Amino acid sequence: MATIKGYAYGQAGLDKSPVSLQDLALLKKTLLWTDDDDRALRMAGEVLKDQVDKVLDLWYGYVGGNDHLVHYFTKNGQPNADYLAAVRARFGQWIMDICNRPYDQTWLDYQYEIAKRHHSSKKNKTDGVDTVPIIHFRYMVAFIYPITATIKSFLEKKGHAAKEVDAMHHAWFKAVTLTVVLWCYPYIKSGEF
């Protein structure tokens, strides 16, 4: 695997997530997570692995076509192409991670790292850029829908039965919701998460 700038999964020095493994288990329970979802996500990873660039083309086209979203990669209204490219590479790896990684302490710690990179506590620091200092909370949550809705057409491209595609899509939706909930941690007042 090529080195991805700023991809720090499992690296020493990452902060431990303030969300415990027990909290994670309860969040998964709340999302009606089952072992079938784990299997469906692995299947989705196989289906998506050679489509990641096309998925990112679609998502980046969506972000780039909406000034209020591309704003988060800008300074004085000008997008930073290097920053967009670095985030794109990590976003592609996130697709594979969400499907293939075990949701253990290492995964939980990296979700916390990603959370801080969206929040003013660490945004721009990983890439050493000077752009707007935060991605606002409202877009963190709102992005769940487009990231979920647009993946289904990619999940359908490998000839799986409709029932399997549906299972992959529902598992993806749960996984995206879970990660975004975790990414929202820095935005919530202490003791209220």
Q: What pLDDT digit, counting tens, does each position of 176-193 carry?
A: 999 999 999 999 999 999
Long-range contacts, 152-159 (Cβ 8 Å, 24+): 154/47, 154/48, 154/51, 154/54, 154/55, 155/44, 155/47, 155/48, 157/47, 157/51, 158/46, 158/47
Q: Is the pLDDT of residue 125 over 90?
A: yes
Distance CA 177, CA 70 (A): 22
Average pLDDT over all residues of the chain:
97
What's residue 62's pLDDT? 96
Distance CA 20, CA 123 (A): 23
Residue 135: both structure tokens together: 């991605």
Q: How do the domains of the chain map onto residue ranges?
A: 26-187
8-state DSSP, 16: P
Residues 6+ apart with CB under 8 A from 61: none
Q: Is the pLDDT of residue 109 over 70?
A: yes
pLDDT tens for 132-174 read: 999 999 999 999 999 999 999 999 999 999 999 999 999 999 9
Q: 26-187: what fold?
A: Globin-like (1.10.490)
Q: Is the pLDDT of residue 1 over 70?
A: no
